[in-house]
Amino acid sequence: MNEFMKLLLTMSVSGTLLLLLILGLIRLYKNKFSRRWQYYICLIAVLRFLIPFTPGTINVGRLLEGGLKGFHTADIMDKSPEMLDRNVTVNGNKEKQTYIYLFFVWSAMALALSVRKIRIYQGFIQCVKAGNVEVSDVRALNLLSGCEEKLNIKTGAGLYCNALIVSPIMIGYFRPSIVLPVRELGDQELPHIFMHELLHYKRRDMLYKWLVQLVVCIHWFNPFAYLLEKEVNKACELSCDEAVISMLDEPARREYGDMLISFLKPTNHCKDTLSFMTLSDGAEQLKERLGAIMDFREKTKGMRILMGVLALCIIFGAVFIGGYSDAPVTGLNSAVTGKSLIPEEQNPVVSTADENSGRASEPPIPEGKSRSMGTYIPNWENWDGDWDWDDKALMEAYAACGIEKNGKFYYYCGETVYILKNQRPDSSIYLINTEGTVSIKVNWNAEGEITGVSYIAKEEVEKLKPKLLGTS
Amino acid sequence: MAHKISESELVLMRIIWKNGGVALYSHIMGELVKDRNEWKNNTVLTLLSRLVGKKFLKVNKIGRRNEYVAVVTEAEYQAMQTHSFLDKVFGGNVKNLVSTLLRQDILSADELEEIESFWRKGHE
C-alpha cells in the first residue's frame, strides 16, 4: 500500500515539475510557438502524470525517497547501518496504518470524482439529445459535407439543432454529431462552425480531454492538475482556431472572429461543467482567441526547428524525470540505496539475495548452473542494486581467488565463511552466516576486478556483528 | 410509426419508390444529378442513414455496395400522412376537408360526383 502511495506521489511530483517547465516555455514564447505545439506539448505532462514509467537513475523517486524519510522512518532499509539501529517496527506499524488510511481517502475521492464527472457528462448528453431536432436543410448538409471533404473525414457527422444550447457543440466520439443552436445561421458562419467542430473530431480532442479528466481524478490532491486542465482546455480551442484560420484568407478570418463573438452569450441550458467541445466559453478567453486570430502568422522555419528541438527535450525530460524508481521498492530487503547489505533474519542465515528472490526454500542451485545469463560485473554504477550472489561471473571471480561456494555456504581455504565483505572503493556489501568460522574481505577495484582477499581482524568482526545481525 | 419524413428525405424516398422500392446508392446519386440536385455524398448518406434509423428503409450490403430497400410503400406512406394531416388540420373531420377542397376549387363538382358514386358502389 505504501509503495503505491509513494508511486502516486512521485508521479504527481514529476508531472508537476514537467508541467511547470512546459508552462514556463509557453509563457515565454506564447506568440512565437504555434498553438498546436502548445496544445500537444501538454500531452507529455498528461502522460507523465498517468504513466508510472521509470527508466532513469536520476529521478524524482529517489529524491522523494530522501525527502519522505523525514516523516516516516518506515520499515525500509536506511542508508547507513547507524540509521538502521533506530529503525524499529513499532514505528513501521503506525506508518502502515497511516498509509492504509491515506489510500482509502485517496481512492474514495478519486472514485467519487470520476463518477461525478461521468454522470455530469452523461446528463449533459442526455439533455442535449432530448432537445435535438434533425436538420434536413440540404444547403446546410451540403456545407457540412463540403467541410468533411476538405478535411478528409470519411465519417459523415450528424447535424442537429437544439433550442437548449446557445453555442454549437460536438457530441459523440465514434459517431460525431454537430449540434447547432436554434437561430438563423448564414452560409458564411456555417462553414466556420463546421470546420471548427470537425477539427475537434479529427484531432480526437475528446480523448485528450478525457485523459486530462483522468489526471484530475487521480491527482485530485494536486492543485497543478487543475492548472493543467485549464491550460489544456484553453490551448485546445486556441489550436483549433489556429488550424481553421490557417486555411482561410484575411477577410474570412475576420468572419471567423465575428462568428466567435456572435456566440458569446450566457451559458447553455444544459449544464456541462466540463465544457466539452463547445465553440466558445467566456469573454476572457474569447479575447485571447481573437487576439490570436489577429496575430496569426505562419511560423518561420527556424521557429519550427526550435519547437521540434524543445519538444524532444521535453520528451527526454519526461522520460528521465521518471516516476517512482523501482529501486527503493525493492530497497525494502536488499538495501539498494545503502552501503551495506544485511541479512534480515538472524538464524538460518543464507545469502540475502536468496531471500530476496524468495528462493531460500528451494534446493541449492548446482554450481555452474546458476540462472544468470550474461555478465555480472558491468553495472558498477549501481552495483549494490545489481549484486547477485548467484551470478556465474561472480562465482568465477570468487573461484579465481580461492572462494568456493557450495550450496548456500561459502568456503575459503576449506573453512566456512562467517562474514564475507565485498569492499569497493566507496561502499561495501556484506553476507553473514552464523555457522561460519572465518571472516574475509574481498577487495574490488572500480573496474570490477578483485584486487585481493584478506581476513578481517577480530575487532572489526565484533564491530560488524551487531549491525549485520540487526541487534545492538 | 411516429417518425416523419422531412422534405429532403422524401426526395430520396421518391427515387427509391420509383425504382420499385429498391435502389443502389449509385442509382440514387444518378437520379439526383438528373434532377439537377447538387447534393454531396455525405449529405445523401446522412439522409439515407436517418431514413434507415426511422425504419423507412433497410440496407442490404451487396459486396461493398449498399442497396436501400423501402420498408414502407408509397401508398402506405400517403395513407399515414393523410391521417395525420386530417387529424392535425381538420380534427379528423372528413366533411370539413372535402368542403375545403371544394371551396378552393381543388376538387371540381364532377370529381365530387365521381367520388360519391364510387363511395355508394362500395357500400352496395
Residues A251-274 have a mean pLDDT of 72
In whole angstroms, what is the distance from residue A385 CA to residue A376 CA? 12
A235, A238, A241, A242: CA torsion to nearest 10:
-90
Residue A327 lies in a domain: no
Helices (H), A51-88: 60-69, 81-85
**Do A138 and B8 make contact, defined as CB atoms within 8 angstroms?**
yes
pLDDT of A353 higher than 50? no
B12 and B65: one domain? yes
Identify whether residues B85 and B49 lie together within a single domain.
no
Asked if A342 contacts A335 with a C-beta cutoff of 8 angstroms, the reply is yes
- Residue A107: the pLDDT is 93
Q: Judge whether B117 lies within some domain.
A: yes
Band of residue A257 on the pLDDT scale cut at 50, 70, 90: confident
Q: What does the pLDDT read at residue A347? A: 38
B14 reaches A (C-beta below 8 A): no
Q: Are residues A316 and A373 in the same domain?
A: no
Tell me the pLDDT tens digit for each residue of A384-437: 555 667 777 777 788 878 888 877 778 888 888 888 888 877 777 777 777 788
Question: What Å distances lie between residue A51 and A47, A69, A346, B44, CA to CA?
Answer: 6, 24, 39, 44
ipTM over the 0.85 cut-off: no
Q: Residue B28 falls within a domain, yes or no?
A: yes
Three-state SS string over A255-276 comes to HHHHHHHHCCCCCCCCCCCCCC
Q: Return the number of CB contacts < 8 Å for A and B.
A: 41
Choose one of A321, A347, A367: the last residue of a domain: A321
Q: What percent of chain A has pLDDT over 70?
A: 72
My answer on whether A155 and A221 are in the same domain is yes
pLDDT at A250: 85
Same domain, A112 and A230: yes
In a domain, B2, yes or no: no
Per-residue model confidence (pLDDT) at position A356: 40
Range of the domain at A13: 2-321
Residues B53 and B89 in one domain: no
| A200 and A293 belong to one structural domain | yes
Residues B63 and B12 in one domain: yes
pLDDT digits (tens, 9 = 90+) for A26-35: 888 877 888 8
**Mean pLDDT, rounded, for A56-79:** 48
Residue A326 lies in a domain: no
Same domain, B90 and B117: yes
The answer, yes or no, to whether residue A179 has pLDDT greater than 60, is yes
Strand partners for A19:
none
Average model confidence (pLDDT) across chain A: 75
Side chain identity at residue A300, one-letter code: T
Nearest to A341 by CA among A329, A361, A355: A355
A369 has pLDDT over 50 = no
Residue A328 falls inside a structural domain? no
Task: Note whether A141 contacts B45, CB cutoff 8 Å.
Answer: no
- Of residues A270 and A112, the one with the higher pLDDT is A112
CA distance A16 to A14: 5
pLDDT at A437: 83
If asked whether residues B57 and B81 sit together in one domain, one would say no
**A219 and A291 inside one domain:** yes
Which band of pLDDT confidence, cut at 50, 70 and 90, is reported for residue A63?
low
C-alpha distance from residue A306 to each of A32, A182, A315, A424, B26 (Å): 10, 45, 14, 45, 50
Of all residues in chain A, the one with the smallest CA distance to B8 is A136
* Chain A residues lying within 8 Å of B36, measured CB to CB: none
Is 60 exceeded by the pLDDT of residue A355? no
Q: What is the CATH number of the domain that holds B49?
A: 1.10.10.10
Looking at the structure, tell me whether residues A158 and A304 fall in a common domain. yes
User: What pLDDT does A60 receive?
Assistant: 56
Per residue in A440-458, pLDDT (tens digit) is 888 887 777 788 888 888 8
Domain boundary among A321, A354, A383: A321
Q: Tally the domains of chain B.
A: 2
Q: Quick one: pLDDT at residue A57?
A: 43
| pLDDT for A81 beyond 60 | no
Amino acid at A439: S
Range of the domain at B91: 74-123
Closest alpha carbon within chain B to A159? B46
| Residue A279 pLDDT > 60 | no
pLDDT value of residue A406 = 77
Contact assignment for B43 to A158 by CB distance below 8 Å:
no
Q: Is residue B1 part of a domain?
A: no
Are B41 and B91 found together in one domain? no
Answer yes or no: do A343 and A305 share one domain: no
Confidence of residue A468 (pLDDT cuts 50, 70, 90): confident
Number of domains in chain A: 2
pLDDT digits (tens, 9 = 90+) for B76-112: 888 888 888 888 888 878 888 888 888 887 778 888 8
Q: Do A75 and A219 reside in the same domain of the chain?
A: yes
Selection from A91-95, A291-295, A423-427 with the highest mean pLDDT: A291-295
Q: Does residue A76 or residue B107 have the better pLDDT? A: B107
Q: Do B43 and A134 lie within an 8 Å CB cutoff?
A: no
For residue A74, pLDDT beyond 60:
no
pLDDT digits (tens, 9 = 90+) for B7-40: 889 889 999 998 888 888 888 888 888 887 788 8
Instruction: With respect to residue A162, please indicate whether it lies within any of the assigned structural domains.
Output: yes
Question: H helices of chain B, where?
Answer: 7-18, 25-34, 41-53, 74-90, 94-103, 109-123
Interface of A with B in 134-173 (CB under 8 A): 134, 136-138, 141-142, 144-146, 148-149, 156, 158-159
Is there a contact between B40 and A137 if contact means CB atoms under 8 Å apart? no
- List A133's β-bridge partners, or say none: A161
Each residue of B34-62: pLDDT tens digit?
A: 887 788 888 898 899 899 988 889 888 88
Q: Phi first, then psi: give them for residue A86, nearest 5 degrees.
A: -95, 15
Q: Is B38 on the interface with A (CB under 8 A)?
A: yes
Same domain for A121 and A225, yes or no, is: yes
